[in-house]
């Protein structure tokens, strides 16, 4: 693991949730989940406020999956590129679940800045544009050798990234709202949930408020099915 932030990323690296997608036959069916949580807890679905949170899937889907992530986390980039498509195909597109993204920005100031900016993108331009921006941020994540620079995800970078998928006027609308700190409240809401649920690394997955600690896509599907039956 590269040096991300002294005394912070290094201290949390042993608690990261690692997701690995392989090309060998055994991995075609799903993904491998390796976790080391020093502590974790669960909460009920009803105690989580999902309103005004970006999500993939049908609003009517019976089960809610939450991914906690950090835009500067290499494991989150890998998760988004390799695991989300599997979840999308198996659970989201089938209408079994919807996937929410919540921030757990802990790596450095870039993490917080990009998270707040993305929150404003969602607030001002909607769910569809948010996910385009979300995916593009991970795609443009710098190599690990550059992580010691804390100003990579500065406002200029975030603005130019948004311009790749949004008009000039829409981009300016987001920039103005960002300067007015309109991303602070939704960002704080996410971070409060991360603390409440004792999230110890990213990415971390919860299904209807319960920590997922399985090893395969089948394990996740089984957990989703059980949650769906409880919601009937």
Q: What is the pLDDT of residues 144-179, one digit of tens each?
A: 656 556 678 999 999 999 999 999 999 999 999 999
Q: What is the pLDDT of residues 102-145, one digit of tens each?
A: 999 998 899 999 999 999 999 999 999 999 999 999 999 987 65
| Terminal-residue alpha carbon distance, the chain | 43
Domains along the chain with CATH numbers = 9-230 (3.40.30.10)
Cα(121)–Cα(102) distance, integer angstroms: 14
Strand partners, 87: none
pLDDT at 46: 63
Q: Note whether 114 and 76 are within 8 A (CB).
A: no
Percent of the chain with pLDDT over 70: 78
Percent of the chain with pLDDT over 90: 72
Confidence of residue 8 (pLDDT cuts 50, 70, 90): very low
- The mean pLDDT of 59-82, rounded to a whole number, is 95
Q: Reply yes or no on whether the pLDDT at 43 is more than 90.
A: no
Strand partners, 64: 98
pTM given for the model = 0.81
Q: Reply yes or no on whether the pLDDT at 96 is more than 80.
A: yes
Q: Which residue has the higher pLDDT, 221 or 26?
A: 221
């Amino acid at each position: 693991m590269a040096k991300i932030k002294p005394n912070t990323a290094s201290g949390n690296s042993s608690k990261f949730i690692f997701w690995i997608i392989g090309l060998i036959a055994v991995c075609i069916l799903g993904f491998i989940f390796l976790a080391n949580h020093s502590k974790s807890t669960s909460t009920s679905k009803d105690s989580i406020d999902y309103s005004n949170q970006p999500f993939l899937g049908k609003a009517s889907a019976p089960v809610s999956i939450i991914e906690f992530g950090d835009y500067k986390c290499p494991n989150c980039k890998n998760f988004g590129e390799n695991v989300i498509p599997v979840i999308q195909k198996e659970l989201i597109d089938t209408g079994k679940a919807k996937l929410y993204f919540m921030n757990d920005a802990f790596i450095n100031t870039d993490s917080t800045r990009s998270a707040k900016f993305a929150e404003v993108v969602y607030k001002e331009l909607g769910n569809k544009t948010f996910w385009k921006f979300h995916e593009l941020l991970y795609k443009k994540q710098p190599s690990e050798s550059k992580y010691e620079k804390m100003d990579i995800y500065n406002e200029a970078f975030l603005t130019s990234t948004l311009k790749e998928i949004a008009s000039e006027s829409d981009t300016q609308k987001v920039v103005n709202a960002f300067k007015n700190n309109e991303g602070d409240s939704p960002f704080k809401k996410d971070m409060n949930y991360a603390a409440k649920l004792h999230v110890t690394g990213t990415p971390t997955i919860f299904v209807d408020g319960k920590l997922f600690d399985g090893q395969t896509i089948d394990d996740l599907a089984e957990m989703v099915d059980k949650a769906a039956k409880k919601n009937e």
